[in-house]
């Protein structure tokens, strides 16, 4: 199937950037230590903040670092290439391919995410587990649910970034919108602080937004904050946002490609 070939090709493509991967592992690990010690001070002052104990909070830190590149928590993730192709007019070539544009880029993003999860996710998490008392599950089934949740989170992340990229059909420069989207993802995914810590109605609203499905839900699955019915509801939450955003992306794509205006040539 062509989508599998595209995903495999994307995996191999990102695997060639070995120096960038090593640099990313180093950066993620350093920031993991900085945030971890910040969380230790915070949870020493406020034990069980947001319903987490300190070990769960530290696990959240290293999960965020492990998923930073895979789930594109700071935007980018290859979709900036699509923005550039739209701006330059190369998207016209993509539209002539005998493959759906959205599914092509989704397959490529899944291949990219798989490589980043292995290349930039495992090492920081392993370092964190060696230095800090993390609340990692011993049950292989929990790890399986976590990987499924991560996959659904990547789909939600892609769907949001794809919508931002499609805005370039109408904008001469979509970098500003991409920056705003990246900041929203960092804040509302739980990258800055777990959404469970947010107070009152604001916290409840934040956990209903699609960004929560990118990091907060997978992290909750890993630390054991979701099990049974809450695990099922979390996965359904991610799947529902993924389907809804992909459908919206399909509508926007259809509107954009009815009359393609090439800005760059």
Pick from 67, 82, 70, 154: which is nearest to 115 by CA? 70
pLDDT over threshold 60, residue 76: yes
| pLDDT: which is higher, 248 or 83 | 248
* The pLDDT of residue 99 is above 90: no
Supply 106's token pair.
Answer: 């989704």
pLDDT in the model for residue 262:
52
| Of 70-79, 128-137, 194-203, minimum mean pLDDT range | 70-79
Q: Are 62 and 55 in contact (CB under 8 A)?
A: no
Q: Which helix (H) or strand (E) holds 181?
A: helix 175-188
229 pLDDT above the threshold of 90: yes
Compute the distance between CA of residue 233 and CA of residue 217 in angstroms, rounded to an integer: 10
pLDDT band at 260 (very low <50, low <70, confident <90, very high): low
What pLDDT does residue 57 have?
95
**DSSP-assigned letters across all residues of 200-213:** HHHHHHHTTSGGGG
Give the pLDDT confidence score for residue 83 in this predicted structure.
83
Specify the range with the lowest mean pLDDT, choosing from 15-19, 68-72, 156-160.
15-19
In angstroms, the CA 160 to CA 212 distance is 12
Binned at pLDDT 50, 70 and 90, residue 265 comes out as very low
What SS3 class is residue 260? coil
Condensed to tens digits (0 to 9), the pLDDT of residues 137-180 reads: 989 999 999 999 999 999 999 999 999 999 888 887 777 888 88
């Amino acid at each position: 199937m062509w989508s599998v070939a595209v995903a495999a090709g994307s995996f191999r493509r990102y695997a060639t950037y070995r120096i960038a991967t090593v640099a990313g592992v180093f950066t993620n690990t350093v920031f993991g230590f900085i945030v971890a010690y910040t969380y230790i001070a915070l949870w020493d002052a406020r034990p069980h903040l947001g319903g987490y104990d300190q070990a769960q909070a530290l696990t959240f830190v290293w999960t965020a670092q492990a998923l930073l590149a895979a789930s594109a928590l700071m935007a980018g993730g290859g979709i900036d290439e699509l923005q550039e192709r739209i701006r330059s007019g190369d998207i016209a070539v993509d539209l002539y391919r005998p493959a759906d544009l959205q599914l092509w880029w989704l397959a490529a993003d899944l291949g990219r995410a798989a490589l980043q999860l292995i290349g930039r996710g495992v090492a920081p998490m392993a370092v964190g587990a060696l230095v800090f008392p993390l609340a990692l599950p011993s049950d292989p089934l929990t790890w399986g649910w976590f990987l499924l949740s991560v996959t659904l989170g990547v789909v939600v992340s892609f769907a949001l970034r794809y919508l931002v990229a499609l805005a370039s059909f109408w904008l001469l420069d979509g970098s500003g919108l991409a920056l705003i989207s990246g900041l929203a993802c960092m804040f509302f995914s739980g990258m800055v602080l777990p959404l469970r810590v947010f107070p009152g109605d604001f916290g409840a609203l934040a956990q209903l937004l699609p960004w929560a499905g990118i990091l907060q839900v997978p992290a909750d699955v890993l630390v054991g904050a979701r099990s049974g019915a809450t695990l099922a509801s979390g996965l359904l939450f991610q799947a529902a946002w993924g389907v809804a955003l992909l459908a919206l992306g399909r509508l926007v794509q259809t509107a954009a490609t009815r009359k393609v205006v090439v800005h760059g040539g």
